Amino acid sequence: MSDATPRVARPRRAGAVAAALLAVTGLAACSGGDDEGTAPREEPSTQTTAPPPEPGPVTGACYALPYDAAVAPTSDVAPVDCGQPHTSVTFAVGAIDAVVDGHLLAVDSERVQSQVSSACPAQLLTYLGGTLTHLRLSMIRSIWFTPTVEQSDAGAGWYRCDAVVLDGASRLADLDGDLSGALAGSVPDRYAMCGTAAPDAPDFERVRCSDKHSWRAIDVIAFDGADYPGVKAVRAAGRTRCEDAAAEVADDPLTFKWGYEWPTKEQWAMGQKFGRCWTAD
């Protein structure tokens, strides 16, 4: 079984773009003296300066992002009033560290993008409350944006972290206000992860538990270590625990259905070192 969550990794532009240097030049011209000894005339010097960078994003801002815009590396979508329909909330804003060994890296370099892609997920749980297991059993995810190359060249050095709720494979759910503390204590059905079928079924799709569903994610099997243990090991690790977890929540502990979704080698390499237990709901 494989985890089809669409935001394991986000597409980012490759290729470094050198930072632009603004040359500030003083211009002066002199005319030669005439026969009558007229004093040379100096013309005033002129300077060109860069316009100030545009204001950066702020925490607490809301955006009506479509799914395609949410998986892009940059965004030009304007914020909306949080009382209006919206799909994302900015929960953190930080400064990019783009200087390495005295050299300024381009905002779309792999080093900078990797920094941001680690920083935002690391801060999400503090914003949501609850536990890491709560987060992994939910449809809440973090997305992130950096300035465009042009904005970076003009002096912008921020990154922006937004929280979104997946609503199926390629759609974002409308939010009611913000998501601060959304997972504290438990995972409400409007954020919890359910499935339209058993996790190994061809027509399986992740949906929120507030939508029509037939299976529910109920527990997480976490793994340690840098190297992938192999399919046999990760598969065996969840059998007893997932069966016990399903029996615990079943109306009849003698008659119930359970499933286990373990991480693939590819998912492990992208940072997903856990599997999920499921039960018919």
In a domain, 51, yes or no: no
Domains: count for the chain: 2
In whole angstroms, give the CA distance from residue 66 to residue 86: 9
Q: Work out the end-to-end distance of the chain between its first and last CA atoms, rounded to an integer number of angstroms.
A: 19
- The CA-based diameter of the chain, rounded to the nearest angstrom, is 116
Q: Which residue's structure tokens are 């010097």? A: 45
In a domain, 268, yes or no: yes
Q: Which domain holds residue 104?
A: 56-191
109 and 75, same structural domain?
A: yes
184 and 197, same structural domain?
A: no
In whole angstroms, give the CA distance from residue 150 to residue 134: 39
212 and 162, same structural domain?
A: no
The rounded average pLDDT for each run of 10 residues, N- to C-terminus, in the chain (281 residues) is 34 28 26 43 55 82 96 95 96 90 84 91 96 97 95 93 94 94 95 96 96 97 94 94 96 92 95 96 92
Structure confidence at residue 81 (pLDDT): 96
Say whether pTM exceeds 0.85: no
97 and 121, same structural domain?
A: yes
177 and 77, same structural domain?
A: yes
In a domain, 43, yes or no: no
Q: How far is CA 43 from CA 33, 37, 40, 49, 226, in A?
A: 15, 18, 10, 19, 67
179 and 253, same structural domain?
A: no
104 and 85, same structural domain?
A: yes
> Shortest CA distance to 47 belongs to which of 20, 27, 29?
27
Which of 143, 163, 191 finishes a domain? 191
